[in-house]
Amino acid sequence: MCMNLVRYKIRQHFKEQFADPGRTPVKADNDQRPLDNPVTADEIQAAFAKLCNGQATELLKYGAATLAQPIADLLNYGFETGDHIHRGEGILLGLPKPNKPAGQCASLRPIVLLNSIRKAVSLIALKRISPKVEVFLSPYHSGFRPSRSTVDAVWTHRWIAARAQTYPEKFYILGIDMSRAFDTIDHDKLLSVLRTFLTDDEIRLICLLLQDTTFALWNERHVLSPFMNNTGTPQGDSLSPVLFVVYLEAALRDLANELDLPRSILQHMIVYRLHLPQQSNHREDSIRGPSHLSTVVAHDEHVQDRAHQDQAQPKTPKDRKQRAKREAWRTTRKLGSLLGDSEDLSRRKNLAAAALHRNPCSALQLLRAPHPALQLRALTNTELVALESFHRKQLRKVIGIVYPCVITNKALYERTETEPLRFFPLRQRWRLFGHILRRPTTITANRFMEDYFQPSEQQKFRGRPRTTLPVTLDADLRCLPDGHRLTKAADLILLRCCARDGLGWKRLTQSLIAYTPYEGERDQDSTHTNAELCRRLARQQARPV
């Protein structure tokens, strides 16, 4: 009896989240007429091919050639008669959230398992609406978009930090983290936004996925009675994130109208998934926008914001010694990484050592593929040598090489099928740099790269420049005898033109790797020594005989 009571309370908790009595469910499609552009067997077959391998999808994925046409006929018949194919009910799982107190319903994260037919229909709708959604969204959105990712936002943060370490300027970055964003979407308002730029067929496909949605809670091998869902988008298919991004775009536009501000104010935002950091040079602007965002968004019931706002102030004192002590922004976490490169590197070393201690069996695969965040780090030569030493130490632990047994670095890399760690960040950094340069100049990452080279009213800090991401990119180029640099806006424009040629950019990346020393001796590790050597060779080649 006690266990049944626990299940009932958990079911009621999730029912209150997904079934809002104040909202009406999506009405059934009463237009019993065929689609203007019917669903084809090729669309069904392409959608089945994108499903992940597994026991639930094997029949559909590998029998698509036989099943695609009958399923397409059933979908089209449903639109003609109103008798739609059964799309199944979502199985709701309550998984415990990390670092949350156990025994509370609020500590459970809802995960929805959807029917494979429903996922295929979602893929068809997504393919049809993707070009129009891409036009509707503003450039500052980087989540759930093709050729865009969270790395765009991290890259932007690195260039903001580089500007703050070059000039005595202040940048205020205030972020808002949305909680239960997918689960609080109003279907009526979502459809009203979609009708402004989608066709009637696309709206009918989306309504088919939103109407008559039921969730059944699975708890300890028991599936409880299902309940109707009339709010949010089910998290389990590829269409739900795109619908949320459209919904969020409409909320941000309402924010600009509510504050009576120009639409350009939104260009200072870096929207990635459910986080909305806003960058500004003025503290009042950075606080005013997000504080009004929670008011406008809650008033329109667009999303519910969590009472969590984090603010980072990259401010740089003029005295060099005081800068290191007073730069508290370096320990501010954004997207799982600290803004300070050295601080984040030290933190990730500790995490890597702890992960190796917990699970040494799979550690070699992890060490062969370093963390992607390493490509965004601006490391000094000392930090790079120390990082490679730490990497080799971890490799020796994995293969069981302990004193008095010894192994050379070259033999260690050959035995573990790895390479010195300096090549990975160099290769990935320039691949990402070229990818961003090929994107439109209106995206946030390109805008802040251009802003970095804009003149400032303040004078630069005296002394040697800090090792930042732009400085590291320029140091990479100085290793080449071609004379390319990255010190002004004209250099950025020239590199953008070079990036348009994918093969040429690939050859540039290979040249950078070729000019990087492999052995890692201390006298060959210095970037300055390599650059000086290349400059001497270039002068000798240009000298007349």
Looking at every residue in the chain, the average pLDDT score rounds to 79
Would strands 278-280 and 337-338 be described as parallel, antiparallel, or unpaired? unpaired
Higher-confidence residue of 222 and 346: namely 346
Q: Which sequence spans correspond to the domains of the chain? A: 2-136+198-232, 351-545
Rounded-to-integer distance, Cα 526 and Cα 182, Å: 49
Least confident of 58-62, 392-396, 417-421: 58-62
Residue 90: φ, ψ to 5°: -80, 135
Least confident of 264-278, 335-349, 420-434, 477-491: 264-278
Q: Are 5 and 25 in contact (CB under 8 A)?
A: no
Least confident of 33-47, 328-342, 445-459: 328-342
Radius of gyration for the chain, computed over Cα atoms and rounded to the nearest angstrom: 27
pLDDT value for 532: 54
3-state secondary structure (DSSP) of residue 306: strand
Rounded-to-integer distance, Cα 532 and Cα 478, Å: 8
Q: Are 446 and 437 in contact (CB under 8 A)?
A: yes
Q: Mind listing the pLDDT tens digit for each residue in 226-236?
A: 777 778 777 77
Residue 176: φ, ψ to 5°: -120, 130
Residue 32 neighbours by CB distance under 10 Å: 11
Rounded-to-integer distance, Cα 516 and Cα 530, Å: 8
Helices 239-258, 187-194: axis angle to 10 degrees equals 90
Q: Mind listing the pLDDT tens digit for each residue in 117-166?
A: 888 899 999 999 999 999 999 888 887 888 888 888 889 989 999 998 89
∠ Cα 359 364 365 (to 5°):
100
Rounded-to-integer distance, Cα 84 and Cα 68, Å: 16
Beta carbons within 8 Å of 448's beta carbon, 6+ residues apart: 156, 159, 160, 279
Higher-confidence residue of 29 and 443: namely 443
User: Averaged over 187-205, what is the pLDDT?
Assistant: 92
Q: Mind listing the pLDDT tens digit for each residue in 71-119?
A: 999 999 988 888 777 776 777 777 777 777 776 777 777 777 778 888 8
Rounded-to-integer distance, Cα 235 and Cα 202, Å: 20
Q: Strands across the sheet with 305-312, in order? A: 278-280, 172-178, 305-312
Q: What 8-state DSSP symbol labels residue 105? A: G
User: Averaged over 295-305, what is the pLDDT?
Assistant: 35
Rounded-to-integer distance, Cα 526 and Cα 514, Å: 15
Confidence of residue 307 (pLDDT cuts 50, 70, 90): very low
Q: Mind listing the pLDDT tens digit for each residue in 481-537?
A: 888 899 999 999 999 999 999 999 999 999 998 888 655 443 444 444 555 555 555
Q: Are 250 and 302 in contact (CB under 8 A)?
A: yes
